[in-house]
């Protein structure tokens, strides 16, 4: 299997810098909790948090989704945050939003816990596959509906280590 570059390390870095500026402007005074959805988003979180600067707490959640058919997919929490969510501004940090079902579930959970606001930043967005209601608030790149790996994203735990985003070519 060969990996063909879709986004270079430089493209990702420069877009992450722009996203950080957008986020800083959008929140003005407040410092949202950066909520990274494990595992894919940890690389993006690490770079984004360093561009954002001080004062942004981070926390993690892991969810699992079960494939029945796509429309019967169920999502479940595997690891929960250690932060009290009530009254917090929360910024969900995602590597990639595909169908949007994971995100829709998380938005519901965080709102039910009384978050003051919940917004979403994702490095990648597959707009053609998206079935959710609202697009993510901050989007790095829109991609066609194809499977990608690297920069945290995996296929069966492989390829996360790549510094770029690529597609697998047999
Ligand atoms: P969704 O619930 O369909 O939006 O899928 C969300 C999760 O599926 C993402 O956070 C990723 O962990 C994983 N995922 C979706 N598309 C890809 C891909 O192209 N490569 C690797 N992981 C993906
Ligand atoms: Mg993810």
3-state secondary structure the chain: CEEEEEECHHHHHHHHHHHHHHHHHHHCCCCCEEEEEECCCHHHHHHHHHHHCCCCCEEEEEEEEECCCHHHCEEEEEECCCCCCCCCEEEEEEEEECCCHHHHHHHHHHHHCCCCEEEEEEEEECCCCCCCCCCCCEEEEECCCCCCEECCECECCECCCCCCEEEEEC
Assess if residue 106 is contained within a domain.
yes
Residue 170 maps to a domain? no
pLDDT band at 69 (very low <50, low <70, confident <90, very high): low
- For 166, half-sphere exposure in the C-beta direction (CA atoms, 13 angstrom radius) is 18
CB 168 near ligand 1, within 6 Å: no
Cβ of 101 closer than 6 Å to ligand 1, yes or no, is yes
Mean pLDDT of 53-72: 83
Does residue 152 belong to any structural domain of this protein?
no
What average pLDDT is seen over the chain? 95
* Domains in the chain, number: 1
Q: Percent of the chain at pLDDT above 70?
A: 96
Which pLDDT value is given to residue 65? 85
**Is 24 inside a domain boundary?**
yes
**Are the C-beta atoms of residues 65 and 40 closer than 8 Å to each other?**
no
113-157 residue pLDDT tens: 999 999 999 999 999 999 999 999 999 999 999 999 999 999 999
Is 99 a pocket residue for ligand 1 (Cβ < 6 Å)?
yes
Residue 166 within a domain: no
Q: Residue 47 catalytic?
A: no
Q: What is the pLDDT of residue 88?
A: 97
The number of the ligand 1 atom at minimal distance from the alpha carbon of 147 is 19
Q: Which ligand is closest to the CA of 42, given by its number?
A: 2
Using the predicted structure, report yes or no on whether residue 99 has a pLDDT greater than 90: yes
- Within a domain: 33: yes
Instruction: Please check whether residue 112 lies inside any domain of the structure.
Output: yes
Range of the domain at 18: 9-145
Ligand 1 neighbour 40 (Cβ under 6 A): yes
Place 72 in a pLDDT band, splitting at 50, 70 and 90.
Answer: low
Its pTM stands at 0.95
Residue 28 in this model has a pLDDT that exceeds 70: yes
Tokens of 113: 């816990």
- CATH code for position 122: 3.40.50.2020
Long-range pairs for 139-142: beta carbons < 8 A, 24 or more residues apart: 140/12, 140/15, 140/16, 140/19, 141/7, 141/11, 141/15
In a domain, 121, yes or no: yes
Q: Whose CA is nearest to atom 10 of ligand 1?
A: 96
């Amino acid at each position: 299997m060969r990996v063909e570059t879709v986004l270079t390390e430089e493209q990702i870095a420069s877009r992450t810098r722009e996203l950080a500026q957008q986020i800083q402007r959008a929140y003005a005074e407040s410092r949202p909790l950066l909520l990274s959805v494990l595992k894919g988003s940890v690389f993006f979180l690490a770079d984004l948090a360093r561009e954002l600067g001080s004062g942004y707490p981070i926390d993690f959640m892991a969810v699992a989704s079960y494939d029945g058919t796509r429309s019967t997919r169920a999502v479940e929490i595997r690891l929960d945050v250690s932060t009290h969510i009530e009254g917090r501004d929360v910024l969900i940090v995602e590597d990639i939003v595909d169908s949007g079902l994971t995100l829709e579930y998380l938005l519901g959970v965080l709102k039910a816990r009384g978050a003051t606001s919940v917004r979403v930043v994702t490095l990648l967005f597959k707009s053609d596959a998206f079935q959710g209601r609202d697009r993510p608030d901050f989007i790095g790149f829109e991609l066609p509906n194809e499977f990608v790996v690297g920069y945290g994203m995996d296929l069966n735990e492989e390829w996360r280590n790549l510094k770029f985003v690529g597609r697998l070519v047999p």
